[in-house]
Amino acid sequence: MTTLATAPTAGPRPARMWHAVLRLHRVPLIIWAVIFAALAGVLLWAYGPGASAARADWRRKCGSHGCGWSSAISSYHLAHAGVEVTIGAIPYVAAVWAGAALIGRELETGTAHLSWTQGVSPTRWLATTLAVPAALITAGSTVLVLVHRLLFDAHKVPVTWNWWDDATFTANGPLAVALSLLGLAVGALAGLLLRRALAAGGLAFVATALVDTALGTARPHLWPWATSHGTLATGYATPSNVLFGDKGAVTSTGAHIADPGCGKSEKCLAAHDVTGYFSHYHPDSHFWPLQLVETGIVLAVTAAATAAAFRLLRRRTA
């Protein structure tokens, strides 16, 4: 009797989750690629021909007697401001996308459960579902921040762009990338909590807005203020191009009090024991300390939201 040896059959190849994520969400990913290309193109235009045309018009039309802005100057500044607003909106788009489409819709329609029955563990499903858009958002946002800084540092028209303005501050450093990842993590957590696309997207948007607003309010206090002192003769002696904080009067003991509004009245100044004035401010050298501290806080909140999402998923699929 002849025994036929059977060749060992190869096991099924592990599912390529990243490929499935790209296919399932190819439309929003294409939209993100288009938005990224458009924003980068606008920034590069403003850095190159837009800046050259605006500078030429400024030299020709603006002087000591005022300035009538031309379309070139207006377009240059509109490009800068428009891109900043759009970069600031990316975290909200990421939150809604993650909460409504990436997580909420897949749980609502059963797509996620189907993946779990095909050799993909829930943890691996969530990790890949978040890793793919996180990588694309990080890469795109990083490029936009670098190009924005290139434009900001090379600003050739003498109209002030304040480094401390919310939109400029966010777009000029890694905070823009961190906030986008925060939106993604918050959206994922909202999707797992509610398992409904529309409700999860709304919750993610509101939660991201609350965190963003709270951080913006706390921002000036994340790094010690610089302090300037002025005499009764000079008044406040605060440098230019700074983010102002508190200000008031200084007494003979060195205590800081609210400005009594005495003006030049010696009697009033003596009655309140005012010997000078103080101002708290952040100079432009404080940009990076403030930027990095806030970025660290955002990344910590992002890590906490991500950890909470994985823990919630494990509890529900145990």
Q: How high is the pLDDT of residue 3?
A: 47
Q: How high is the pLDDT of residue 291?
A: 97
Q: How high is the pLDDT of residue 4?
A: 46
Residue pLDDT tens, the chain, 318 long: 444 444 444 444 444 666 666 666 677 778 888 889 999 999 999 999 999 998 888 888 776 566 777 888 889 999 999 999 999 999 999 999 877 877 888 888 887 777 777 777 888 888 888 888 899 889 999 999 999 999 999 887 877 889 999 999 999 999 999 999 999 999 999 999 998 888 999 999 999 999 999 999 999 999 999 988 888 888 887 788 899 888 888 988 888 888 888 888 888 888 888 888 889 999 999 999 999 999 999 999 999 999 999 999 999 887
The sign of the CA dihedral 130, 134, 135, 137 is positive
Single-letter code of the amino acid located at 75: S
Helix (H) or strand (E) holding 316: helix 287-317
Q: How high is the pLDDT of residue 146?
A: 95
Q: If DSSP codes are grouped into helix, strand and coil, which group holds residue 174? A: coil
Question: What is the phi/psi pair of residue 251, to 5°?
Answer: -95, 175
- Give the number of other CB atoms < 10 A from CB of residue 142: 14
Q: How high is the pLDDT of residue 16?
A: 65
Q: How high is the pLDDT of residue 5?
A: 46
Q: How high is the pLDDT of residue 12?
A: 45
Q: How high is the pLDDT of residue 62?
A: 75
Cα distance between residue 24 and residue 47, in whole Å: 37
Under a CB-based contact definition with an 8 Å cutoff, are residues 207 and 91 in contact?
A: no
Q: How high is the pLDDT of residue 318?
A: 73
Cα distance between residue 239 and residue 250, in whole Å: 18
Under a CB-based contact definition with an 8 Å cutoff, are residues 177 and 141 in contact?
A: yes
